[in-house]
Amino acid sequence: MKHLKIIQAEFFRFKRAEQDATSREKLLKIGLLLSFLVINSLATSCKTTKKPDVIIIDPVNAVEREVKLSNFTDHITYIPLESEVIFNNPFSIITTKDHFVLSTFPSNILVFTRSGDFISEIGKVGKGPGEYLFPKHLTYDQNEGLIYIYDNKRILKYDLSGNFINELKLEKFNSGFHDLNLHNEKIYLAGGIHFGNAIYDWIIIDNSLNLRSYKLNHIGSFGAMGDGTIISEGRGGFFSYSGDIYFWNSFNDTIFSIEPNSYKPAIVFEPGIFKHPHQPILFADRSKYFSPRTIFGTNNFLFLSYVLDSYQYTAFFDKNDRNFKIINKSTNLNISDMPGIKNDLDDGPDFPPMYYFQENGEEYLLGWLHAFKFKAHVESEAFKNSTPKYPEKKKAIEELALRLDENDNPVLMLVKLKE
- Max mean pLDDT range (15-24, 224-233, 391-400): 391-400
User: pLDDT band at 51, cuts 50/70/90?
Assistant: very low
Q: Residue 229 pLDDT > 60, yes or no? A: no
Q: Residue 25 pLDDT > 90, yes or no? A: no
Q: Residue 116 pLDDT > 60, yes or no? A: yes
User: pLDDT band at 139, cuts 50/70/90?
Assistant: very high
Report the pLDDT value the prediction gives residue 33, as an integer from 0 to 100: 44
**Which has more pLDDT, 112 or 30?**
112
Give the other-Cβ count within 10 Å of 275's Cβ: 18
User: pLDDT band at 315, cuts 50/70/90?
Assistant: very high
- Max mean pLDDT range (61-70, 170-179, 224-233, 360-369): 360-369
Report the pLDDT value the prediction gives residue 271, as an integer from 0 to 100: 85
Report the pLDDT value the prediction gives residue 234, as an integer from 0 to 100: 67
Q: What is the mean pLDDT of the chain?
A: 85
Lowest mean pLDDT across 43-52, 100-109, 228-237: 43-52
Cα distances from 36 to residues 26, 30, 55, 275, 382, in angstroms, run 16, 10, 15, 15, 49
List 113's β-bridge partners, or say none: 99
Q: Chain centroid to CA 365: how far?
A: 12
- Single out the residue of 2, 28, 7 nearest to residue 268, CA to CA: 7
Q: Chain centroid to CA 110: how far?
A: 20
Q: Residue 252 pLDDT > 90, yes or no? A: no
Report the pLDDT value the prediction gives residue 52, as an integer from 0 to 100: 52
Q: Residue 56 pLDDT > 60, yes or no? A: yes
CA distance 366 to 357: 8
pLDDT by residue (tens digit) across 158-168?
Answer: 999 999 999 99
Quote the radius of gyration of the chain (alpha carbons, Å): 22
Query: Mean pLDDT, to the nearest integer, of 352-359?
Result: 96
Local structure of residue 62 (DSSP, 8 states): P
Report the pLDDT value the prediction gives residue 277, as an integer from 0 to 100: 77
Report the pLDDT value the prediction gives residue 91, as an integer from 0 to 100: 92
Report the pLDDT value the prediction gives residue 233, as an integer from 0 to 100: 58
Q: Work out the burial of residue 21: count CB atoms within 10 Å of its CB; fewer than 13 is exposed, 13-18 middle, 19 or more buried.
A: middle
Which uninterrupted H or E stretch holds 159? strand 154-159
Report the pLDDT value the prediction gives residue 250, as an integer from 0 to 100: 83
Report the pLDDT value the prediction gives residue 100, as an integer from 0 to 100: 98
Q: Residue 30 pLDDT > 60, yes or no? A: no
CA distance 42 to 250: 21
CA distance 107 to 27: 37
Query: Mean pLDDT, to the nearest integer, of 365-370?
Result: 97
Architecture of domain 54-416 in CATH? 6 Propeller (2.120)
User: pLDDT band at 355, cuts 50/70/90?
Assistant: very high
Could you check whether the bond before residue 106 is cis, i.e. omega within 30 degrees of 0? yes
User: pLDDT band at 53, cuts 50/70/90?
Assistant: confident
